[in-house]
Structure 1
C-alpha cells in the first residue's frame, strides 16, 4: 500500500479479497460491470478501496447466493445508498424503501429454498457417512 497520506486508509485489491473472501478476479469483474468502483488508484495504477467499498463488496457477496442478477444487485445497492444519504428526499427514500421491502421478501424466499436444499445435502451426507468411516 502506498505510504502517502491520501492512500493510507485505502486497501489494495489483495487485501480487499482477503477481507471479503472474494477472489481478485471477481472483484475486478464487479469493477468492470460497475457494481463497485475503486475509490482511487495508486501512483502505480493499483486499485485502492475504502472501507465503504469493502462494505459494498460484502453486500454483493451476500446477494450472490440468493440468485440476484447484476442489475438487481445494482438496484438494491442504489436503494441502500438512497436510504442512507442525508440528501435524499422523502419521495426518494419512500421509493427506495419499496424496493428494499421487495428485495427483502425475495431474499427470504431464496433463503427458504437454500435451507431446503441444504437439508437434502445433509441427508445425503448422513447416508454416505457410513461409507466414509473405515470399519
Structure 2
C-alpha cells in the first residue's frame, strides 16, 4: 500500500512517515518502479507500535533500538552489539510503565482542573 493509505490508516502525516523512513526508524518493504514507497501490513503494524510509543516520550533512537531488539528476538539471533534483545525489551517495558504512570497522574490533574472550571459556571 502507498504512503497516503498508510498515513490515513495510522492517523499520521505523510511527513512523519517520510521522516521515520529517512532516519531509519521504519522503512517501507518496497518501492514501486516509479519510486513510491510501498508498505506491507507488517510495516503498518510497526508504524502503529511506534505511534504508541510517541506519547510516552521515547526518543527516536530508543524506538529504533526497541524495534531492532524485537527483530532480533523474532529472528532468534543474538544482538550484534550492545545489550541483549531481551534486556532492551525489559528496559523499555519498565520505562513505558513508569512513563504511563506519570501520564495518568497528569491526566488526573487535568480532569480535576476541568471539574473545577465546570463548577465555575
The TM-score with structure 2 as length reference comes to 0.89
Structure 1 gaps, min length 5? 1-10
Q: Deviations over 1:75-123 (max 9, x none)?
A: 100111111114x25999x911111111110000000000000001111
The TM-score with structure 1 as length reference comes to 0.81
Q: 1:125 matched to which residue of 2? A: 114
Question: How far 1:44 moved relative to its partner?
Answer: 2.4
Quick check: which has more Rg, 1 or 2? 1
Q: CA RMSD in A?
A: 2.1
Structure 2 gaps, min length 5? none
- Please give the alpha-carbon distance, in whole angstroms, between the structure 2 residues aligned to 1:40 and 1:28: 14
Corresponding residue to 1:32 among 19, 22, 33: 22
Which 4+ residue blocks in structure 1 deviate beyond 2 angstroms?
89-92
Describe the SS at the equivalent of 2:38: strand
Question: How far 1:40 moved relative to its partner?
Answer: 1.3
